[in-house]
Amino acid sequence: MLYVISHLKKVFDNRTVLDIPFLEIESGIIYALLGSNGAGKTTLLNILGFLEPPTQGNILYRSVQVIFSTSHLQNLRRKVVLVDQNPIMFTTSVFKNVEFGLRIRRIPKNERVKIVTEALDMVGMRHFAQAQAQNLSAGETQRVALARGLVVSPQVLLCDEPTSTVDVEHQTMILNILKQITEERKISIVFTTHDGYQAAFLSRHTLSLDHGKPVYTDRDAGLLD
* Rg from Cα positions in the chain: 17
Alpha helices in 135-212 (DSSP H): 138-150, 168-185, 196-202
Give the single-character DSSP code of 125.
Answer: -
Q: Quick: pLDDT tens for 58-105.
A: 999 999 999 998 888 989 999 999 999 999 999 999 999 999 999 999
Q: Quick: pLDDT tens for 30-56.
A: 999 999 888 999 999 999 999 999 999
How many C-beta neighbours within 10 Å does residue 69 have? 9
Q: Quick: pLDDT tens for 188-204.
A: 999 999 999 899 999 99
The dihedrals phi and psi of 96, each to the nearest 5 degrees, come to -70, -30
d(CA 78, CA 134) in angstroms, rounded, equals 25
pLDDT at 223: 43
Break the chain into its structural domains and give their ranges.
Answer: 3-221
Q: Which CATH number fits domain 3-221: 3.40.50.300, 3.40.50.2000, 3.40.640.10, 3.90.400.10?
A: 3.40.50.300
**pTM over the 0.85 mark:** yes
